[in-house]
Structures are given as C-alpha cells and as structure tokens.
C-alpha cells in the first residue's frame, strides 16, 4: 500500500501553510469548506493533510481545524515565491482549474525516473550494461558497441547523479528554478 509523503513546511515550499483566518479578514464569501481532505497526520507543527482534487499538501498549523475559515501564511523567506505559487495551485484546484506544478519539467521527471531505476539496478548488483539494456532496450544497447556507446556514458551519468540526489540533493527538486536576469 502506497503511503502519502508529508514534507515539513520549512523544507518543501509546495506545502500550503494554513491558520484560522482572523475575524477581521473573514468576508463570508468563498471558503475551503468544499475541499475534500484526505486523512493526514499530526505532529508538533500541526495537522498535515492532502487536498482533493489536486493533492496539495496542507499544513494546518497549531490547533487550526479543517472546517474553520482559513488563511494562508507565507513566511517572507527565500522560498516565498515558491510558496505563493503553491497557494495559487491550491486555490485553482478548489475551483477545478488545474495548474500544473512547474517545479519539474516532463523531461526532468523522466530523467529522475531513470536515475531511480539505475540506483535500483545498482542495489541489485546489476552491471551498467544490464541497467542500460533495461532502460533503453536490447534493440538500442549493443554489447559489441558498449565500450564507446552513448548509452554507456548516459548510464554512468544517471548513476552518478542519482547517488548525488540520495546524498540530500533530492531537496533541490522541491525548489523552482529561477531565470537569471
């Protein structure tokens, strides 16, 4: 059975931090009461849940309860922009307007999947040739050309980069890329 992963809000800017809305900010219009919440877990920070649709991780901080009028909290830190984008994705999901999480492109997701498969193969003591054959297919990966094969070099890079990710580099995936101006 697959268990949901709950990230700490200080690590993943994709977590939407919620508190009870102050009375002076309650308009009586709009609400998150229609949002279905999956059962979560409680820790010292509060209650961690997932919304449906969208699957956004929500952190109801302190004693905040799901049925209360809620307000989002954005710490003004170096992840504030990413947190704001997470709140926008959550609000759009409430109104059934899907906004994809742009922190990873489809190509990056595919490469990460290849990296994980390479590490799984390494864990099972498979050779790089065996891993490359499993990833790219026997039709493309030839034993005769293996020594100078682009697939050999790509497999080595995937294993190397996968090992870097395992050594805490995976947290970089939680942050959006910034364009340099």
Hey, what are 75's tokens? 């710490």
Half-sphere exposure of 9 (CA within 13 A, CB side): 27
d(CA 125, CA 104): 30
The answer to whether 35 and 52 are in contact (CB under 8 A) is yes
The answer to whether 141 and 128 are in contact (CB under 8 A) is no
Confidence of residue 179 (pLDDT cuts 50, 70, 90): very low
pLDDT computed for residue 11 by the predictor: 84
pLDDT computed for residue 93 by the predictor: 85
Poorest-pLDDT segment among 7-11, 46-50, 52-56, 138-142: 52-56
Q: With H, G, I as helix, E, B as strand and everything else as coil, classify residue 142.
A: coil
Query: What's the whole-number mean pLDDT along residues 22-42?
Result: 74
In terms of Cα–Cα distance, which of 115, 106, 112 is closest to 155?
115
d(CA 35, CA 21): 16
Q: What is the pLDDT of residues 75-120, one digit of tens each?
A: 999 889 999 999 998 988 888 887 777 777 778 888 888 998 999 9
Q: Please give the full DSSP string across 134-180, using - where no structure is assigned.
A: HHH-TTT--STTGGG-HHHHHHHHHHHHHHHHHTTGGGGGGSPP---
At residue 37, does pLDDT exceed 80?
Answer: no
Neighbouring CB atoms inside 10 A of 136's CB total: 16
């Amino acid at each position: 059975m697959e268990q949901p992963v709950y990230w700490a809000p200080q690590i993943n800017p994709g977590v939407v931090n919620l508190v009870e809305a102050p009375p002076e900010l309650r308009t009586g219009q709009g609400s998150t009461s229609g949002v279905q919440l999956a059962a979560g877990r409680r820790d010292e920070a509060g209650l961690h849940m997932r919304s449906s649709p969208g699957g956004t991780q929500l952190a109801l901080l302190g004693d905040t309860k799901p049925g209360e009028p809620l307000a989002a909290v954005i710490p003004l830190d170096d992840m504030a922009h990413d947190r704001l984008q997470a709140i926008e994705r959550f609000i759009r999901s409430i109104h059934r307007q899907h906004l994809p999480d742009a922190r990873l492109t489809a190509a990056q997701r595919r490469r990460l999947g290849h990296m994980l498969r390479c590490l799984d193969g390494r864990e099972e003591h498979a050779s790089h040739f065996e891993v490359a054959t499993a990833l790219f297919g026997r039709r493309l990966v030839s034993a005769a050309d293996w020594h100078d094969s682009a697939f050999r070099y790509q497999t080595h890079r995937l294993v190397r980069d996968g090992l870097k990710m395992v050594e805490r580099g995976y947290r970089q995936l939680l942050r959006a890329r910034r364009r340099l101006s």
